[in-house]
């Protein structure tokens, strides 16, 4: 089993996998000194031309151990994710190359603060989220409708290929 240290998000460390924006701190996008405002188009997700965007809700429970035993990816679409009521750990990895099955050593883990929206690029490995200091956290997931049925590849990580996330 691999050990995977969760690290804070930074633009430089996450740039290969996608982008992120703290939606609770958008002051840099508004007029100076404004107390309220409208902040459009902070991130764009390419959902392709044949489907409509869909809002999904994920509710995740903090496990005794944060062990990654699967990953998934979408070949043709981005995925957007935002934790609503607590910080979580996410994991990501570069797309599999050739016929080699990815393993826990191919992944990176990041701390995703609540209110921060993250965009995964097409092909990026990812999976469930792990609450850090709460038993449950609710998240919004944005995908084209029915992506789970028509553009979702699952990869099971056996014991030797799994990764244990640590803070």
Q: Residue 96's pLDDT is what?
A: 65
Average pLDDT value for residue range 16-22: 94
DSSP 50-105: SS-EEEEEEEEE--SS-EE-EEEE-SS--EEEEESSS-EEEEEEPPP-TTPPP-GG
Q: Residue 82's pLDDT is what?
A: 97
Q: Residue 98's pLDDT is what?
A: 64
- Tell which wins on pLDDT, 146 or 113: 113
- Phi then psi for 161, rounded to 5 degrees? -95, -10
Q: Residue 33's pLDDT is what?
A: 59
Average pLDDT value for residue range 137-146: 93
Instruction: Decide: helix, strand or coil at residue 149.
Output: helix
Nearest to 136 by CA among 20, 57, 37: 57
Continuous segment of H or E residues that includes residue 13: helix 11-14
- Tell which wins on pLDDT, 39 or 24: 24
Q: Which CATH fold would you assign to the domain 2-24+44-166? A: Jelly Rolls (2.60.120)
Are 88 and 129 a contacting pair, CB within 8 Å?
yes
Nearest to 9 by CA among 82, 85, 126, 89: 89
Instruction: Decide: helix, strand or coil at residue 26.
Output: coil
Q: Residue 31's pLDDT is what?
A: 60
- The pLDDT tens digits for 67-121 are 999 999 999 999 999 999 999 999 999 876 666 788 899 999 999 999 999 999 9
Structure-token pair, residue 159: 């014991």
Query: Across the strands, what pairs with 109?
Result: 6, 91
Q: Residue 162's pLDDT is what?
A: 96
Which of 13-17, 21-25, 34-38, 149-153 has the weakest average pLDDT?
34-38
- The pLDDT tens digits for 26-65 are 767 666 656 666 777 788 888 777 678 889 999 999 999 9
Q: Which residues of 70-98 are buried (b: 16+ CB within 10 A; e: fewer)?
A: ebebbeebbbbbbbeebbbbbbbbeebee
User: What is the Cα–Cα distance from 127 to 156, expressed in whole angstroms?
Assistant: 11
Q: Residue 45's pLDDT is what?
A: 84
């Amino acid at each position: 089993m691999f050990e995977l240290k969760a690290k804070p998000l930074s633009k430089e460390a996450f740039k290969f996998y996608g982008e992120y924006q703290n939606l609770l701190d958008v002051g840099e996008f508004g007029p100076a000194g404004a107390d309220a405002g409208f902040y459009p188009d902070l991130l764009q997700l390419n959902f392709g031309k044949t489907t409509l965007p869909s809002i999904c809700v994920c509710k995740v429970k903090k496990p005794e151990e944060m062990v990654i035993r699967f990953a998934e990816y979408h070949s043709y679409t981005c995925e957007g994710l935002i934790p609503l009521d607590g910080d979580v750990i996410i994991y990501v990895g570069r797309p599999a190359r050739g016929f080699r099955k990815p393993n826990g050593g191919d992944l990176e883990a990041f701390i995703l603060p609540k209110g921060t929206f993250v965009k995964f690029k097409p092909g990026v490995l990812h999976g469930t989220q792990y609450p850090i200091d709460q038993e449950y956290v609710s998240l919004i997931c944005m995908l084209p409708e029915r992506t789970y049925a028509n553009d979702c590849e699952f990869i099971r990580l056996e014991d030797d290929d799994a990764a244990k996330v640590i803070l």
